[in-house]
Structure 1
Amino acid sequence: MPASPSTARAINDRSALKLLQDEGPLTAGQLKTLTGLSRPSVADLVERLQGAGLITVVGEAGARRRGPNARLYGIVADRAHLAALDVRTQGVSVVVADLLGTTLAEATLPIDGDATGTGPAVEQAVALLERTAREAGAERLHSVGIGAPGLIDPATGELRATTGLPAWHRRLVAALQERLPATVLVENETNLAAVAEQRLGAARDRDTFVLLWLGHGVGAALVLDGKLRRGASGGAGEIGFLPVPGTEGLPSATDCGGGFHSLAGGAAIAALAARHGIAAAGDASAAAGVRAALAAGARGEPFLDALATRLAVGAAAVTAVLDPGCVVLGGESGHAGGEALAARVAARLAGMSPLRTQVRAGELGDAAVLQGALLAARDAAQDDLFAPGA
């Protein structure tokens, strides 16, 4: 059955808005070429979108051209304001952006919930978001994306109580949902990092891949056939609990010690660097150790080889089950290791698994979570504003 005229118009409008988002300002003639619509249909489309306040004339194409056919149309960026939060164990980072995702203001605040208490910690985080929004000139936020450690209940979309998760994390999400006249979305940090790497980073050409997150903790995000897979309980990718050789004991339901976390978590990588005599002045983090090893040349190679072997153990387990064809080393340590570490992991993985698997360095590093949260907020805003009749 052919689409009704109203449905066809809605489809055409969203198609044009997507082109303007991805390609930047376009003329009516360019929209005609890219959409395949007739000139009258494009003229009607432009009039509708201007009337809805979604697009406006932002200039003219070509210094010598004048007149209606030369007008460049672009999305009205301040039609909605967005915010993203990256909630970590000891702090929170915030960015406020416009509808096109352009950053208007950003801030970071360390928060020690154990020292200040849950209530004050929540208030500090909420105040940071409100202050950053004011600095950006965003009187009203349309959508807020939050990336947090822990499991997200796939049925309710809520952050679940998890052992080791600070109490202020769960209270923060609830407080923002209660106090903001905005759509508030929360997602696991590793999942958001995978979304960002797929749309902006190392996995732009992949619809199936696994992101191996190497930060304070270790985790994985699964993107299969273009869709993020969360699992029945939201725990898909909790690779820190994966039993692996080379650790003392086995993980338990409440402690990932003895699992892959004991090989590839931040503390484990930092300790491995120290055992190989690799130290970064004034910074004992895992990523600093990786950078120092790369800078040390031949002296750092034994550490990088040992680390690559550890990472290949986890990657081999994932590829044996999922056969994703591509593993992206994300997080601060994966980004720090770059292609040098990725190549080492690929070589060792090829010796452990018969499945051909590319290994790539993440391009976005630790910033991937915040960028993924912003993408989630932008998608929610555009789905609402670009909907028929919005």
Structure 2
Amino acid sequence: MRGLSVRVGGPRALRAMNDRAALYALAEHGPLSRVELEHAIGLSKPAAAELLRRLEQAQLVRQDGHKESSGPGPNARLWTVNELAGHAVGIDVISSSVDVAVADLSGRVIAERKVLSRGSGPDPVVPLRRAVVDAAKVRGLTLDDIDRAVVGISGSIDPVTGFLGYADHMPRWHGFNVPHRLADALGMPVTVENDVNLVATDELLHGRARGYTDVLLLWMSSGVAAAVVVDGRLHRGWRGAAGEIDFAPLDFNGRRVTELIDNHGVLELAADHGVRAGRAGTLVRRAVAAVAGESERGGDPEGFLAELAARVAQAVVIPVSLLDPQLVLLGGEIGVAGGDRLADRVADRLHRLIAHRPEVRPATGRDHAVRHGAVEAAVRQLQEAVFG
């Protein structure tokens, strides 16, 4: 991995700042001509020309064709980040599989690999390392060619001990410092992040949270968790467990959040209203269609959605009161399947309970959202290291 040497000082510090601004502009908006780069970061023609010469010599940028001229004179050269100057990997770990994507310095995903980890032995790191090695091999790379990794996993990592908590369903990952162990196995810096936080990262960059600074994402699937974004940044809490709300009691009978709005709780609620289907997400989607008049009614889909919305509103009312978010996103298979109809009912119920008026919307529900968020976080770390 190549990078810039930055020292505090007058002209040298200014050059480093300009180099960094140019690299980020090229990474986000490139390829750009020299004139376009001048306008993007506010440099003079001689300064931009010298900057590009310097970055090309450092092998951080490269020429990428020409831009057709609209008038007389030669076509302008186009410049882009040298994507081979570094690589990063994003990894999504669940109890049964490991899903890997390798990206270059520009953020483009260049290789993917998914391996089953169930039945692979007592050490969960072995299939993870194998998946990364196999993905890198697709593009003729080795672990030595990858500079950063971000791993998404259910539960939370204690920032002091590195131990995984709130993840009883991941027993093989307990009892050791997860980030340190993975860094040793992969030979690179590794960040281990909560999977729902990475979904929030993906939503902030490419989904329905784009343009928002304060967001609460509620994830409802086989488990329940939340991600908290404050001032555009993930809030992890003192011990990394912010958002682990699944074990919190939701009513005076002691029933927990996860019992009422995870897949199993939603299936039970639907059965009480005579609404039946296979999976929880399918069931919610069919109930929404029935209420909209797009399919035959079975049981009481309206009553089911109303009660589900009440439960969801009750689950987020205290976090919303404390955090005052602009946006509440309903994610996981249940939140996405509910679409705007469930979100509108949750908003109505929530607005009856408290004075806050956040928007409530379904999450995007992009496939491989955890892995996408992990790749985006890993590339961001890589660019910070390389660009200075």
2:309 alignment partner in structure 1? 308
Work out whether residues 98 and 104 of structure 1, in 8 Å CA contact, stay in contact via their aligned partners in 2: yes
Per-residue CA deviation, residues 79-133 of structure 1 (Å, 9 max, x unaligned), is: 2222111111232211122222222222333333xx55422x4322321221122
Offset at residue 357 of structure 1 (A): 1.0
- 2:16 equivalent in structure 1: 10
> How many residue pairs align between the two structures?
370
Q: 1:122 to 1:179 in 2, by over 3 A?
A: closer
Question: In the alignment, is the contact (CA less than 8 A) between 2:120 and 2:127 conserved in 1?
Answer: no
For residue 65 of structure 2, give the secondary structure of its aligned residue in structure 1: strand
Task: Determine which of 196, 205, 208 is the counterpart of 1:202.
Answer: 208
Distance 1:310 1:67, change over 3 A: farther
Q: Equivalent residue for 2:337? A: 336
Q: Is the 8 A contact 2:212 2:326 kept in 1?
A: no
Three-state SS of the structure 1 residue aligned to 2:79 is strand
Unpaired runs of 5+ residues, structure 2, are 1-7
Considering Cα pairs closer than 8 Å and 6+ residues apart, tell me whether 1 or 2 has the greater RCO: 2
Letter in 1 for 2:315: G
Is residue 2:267 matched to residue 1:270? Answer: yes
Equivalent in 127, 130, 133 of residue 127 of structure 1: 130
CA distance in 2, matches of 1:352, 1:80: 50
SS of 1:43 mapped into structure 2: helix
Distance 1:287 1:90, change over 3 A: same
Structure 1 gap ranges (5+): 250-257
- What does 1:38-57 correspond to in 2, within 5 Å? 38-57=44-63
Q: Which residue of 1 aligns with 2:84?
A: 78
> Does the 8 Å CA contact 1:197/1:204 hold for their aligned counterparts?
yes
Identity between Structure 1 and Structure 2 (%): 37
For 1:177, which of 156, 164, 183 is the aligned residue? 183
Q: Report what 1:217 is aligned to.
A: 223
Q: Does the 8 Å CA contact 2:164/2:173 hold for their aligned counterparts? A: no
Residues 211 and 221 of structure 1 are in contact (CA less than 8 Å); yes or no, is this contact kept in structure 2? yes
Q: Which residue of 1 aligns with 2:152?
A: 147
2: distance between equivalents of 1:111 and 1:296?
39
Indicate the residue corresponding to 1:293 in structure 2: 287
Give CA-to-partner distance per residue, 1:346-370, whole Å, 9 cap, x none.
1111111111111121114463211
Give the 3 Å change call, closer, same or farther, for CA 122–142 of structure 1 in structure 2.
Answer: same
Return the alpha-carbon distance in structure 2 between the equivalents of residues 210 and 197 of structure 1.
11
RMSD: 2.4
**How far does the alpha carbon of each residue in 1:233-291 deviate from its partner, in whole angstroms, 9 at most, with x for none?**
1111111122222x742xxxxxxxx22111112221233234334444xxx43222222
In the TM superposition, what whole-angstrom CA distance separates every residue of 1:169-199 from its partner, at most 9, and x where no partner exists? 3567554311223221111111111122111
Conserved? CA contact 2:97–2:115, under 8 Å = yes
Contact 1:209-1:324 at 8 Å conserved across structures: yes
Partner of 2:141: 138
| Shift in alpha-carbon separation, 1:29–1:292, aligned structure 2, 3 A | same
Contact 1:122 1:168 in 2 (8 A): no
TM-score by length of 2: 0.87
TM-score by length of 1: 0.87
Q: Report SS of the residue matched to 2:156.
A: coil
Residues 161 and 355 (structure 1), Cα distance of their counterparts in 2 relative to 1, 3 Å cut: closer
User: Which structure 2 residues correspond to residues 181-260 of structure 1 after superposition, within 5 A?
Assistant: 181-245=187-251, 248-249=253-254, 258-260=255-257
Structure 2 vs 1, CA of residues 159 and 190 (structure 1 numbering), >3 Å: closer, same or farther?
A: farther
In the alignment, the residues of structure 2 paired with residue 373 and residue 314 of structure 1 have an alpha-carbon distance, to the nearest angstrom, of 27
Between 1:64-73 and 1:263-272, the stretch displaced more is: 64-73
Q: In the alignment, is the contact (CA less than 8 A) between 2:125 and 2:185 conserved in 1?
A: no
Q: 1:111 to 1:4 in 2, by over 3 A?
A: same
Specify the alignment match of 2:5 in structure 1. none
Q: Distance in 1 between matches of 2:167 and 2:209?
A: 31
Cα 1:60/1:240, change in 2 over 3 Å = same
* CA deviations over 1:6-61 (Å, ceiling 9, x no partner): 11111111111111122121111011111111111111111111111111111111
Matches for 1:96-107 after TM superposition, within 5 Å: 96-107=102-113
| CA deviation profile, 1:191-232 (whole Å, cap 9, x unmatched) | 111122111211111111111112221111111112211111
The aligned residue for residue 353 of structure 1 is 354
